Amino acid sequence: MFPHERSLVKRLEGKPFVLIGVNGDGNDQDLKKKNEKEKITWRSFKNDRPEQGSITDEWNHEGWPTLFVIDHKGIIREKWLGSPGDKVLDEAIDKYVKLADKESP
């Protein structure tokens, strides 16, 4: 998953697109090191929140990874439990990025 995400972020640089994570590693002391090693530069929420409870509980999470594509207006467009594969992912994202470009140039 990571290599494709890295190239996705790079390919869509300057476009109306952002990759946001919800990270489930908890209090892993080595998380920073691991992220550096995998060159994970995108921003992630910590899944565990001390006061609100976990994001996964709130989102009825069924398994890792789960992916959502949300369009520029904040409408959910795709939801996948498990990666749908690079091609399907790219096509969906490109479709909505193009739409975002067209509607807010």
Partner 1 sequence: MRVLLLTAAFMLSWQAWTGAVQDSKQPKQISLAERAKALEADVQKKLESISKRLQEVKDETERDKLQDEATSLQKGMAKDLLKLARDHAADPEAFTVLKKLTAMGGFPEGQKEAAQLMLANHIAKAGIGEEAPLLANVDPELALRFARAVSERNPNKADQAIALFTIGALLKQQAIAEQSDAKRDRLVAEAGKALETAKTKAQDVKLGDNPLAVFIRSQLAGLKNVGQLIAGKPVPDITGEDLDGKSFKLSDYRGKVVLLDFWAHW
CB of 5 to partner 1, least distance (A): 7
Distance CA(6)–CA(38), nearest Å, equals 9
Region class of 17: left (phi > 0), else alpha (psi between -120 and 50), else beta: beta
Distance CA(16)–CA(104), nearest Å, equals 9
Rg of the chain on CA atoms, in Å: 15
CB of 15 to partner 1, least distance (A): 8
Identify which of residues 38 and 85 has a Cβ nearer to partner 1 in the complex: 38
CB of 68 to partner 1, least distance (A): 4
Identify which of residues 3 and 20 has a Cβ nearer to partner 1 in the complex: 20
- Three-state DSSP class for residue 43: coil
Chain residues binding partner 1 by CB under 8 A are 1, 5, 8, 16-25, 28, 31-32, 34-35, 38, 43-47, 49, 52-61, 64-79, 89, 93, 96-97, 100, 104
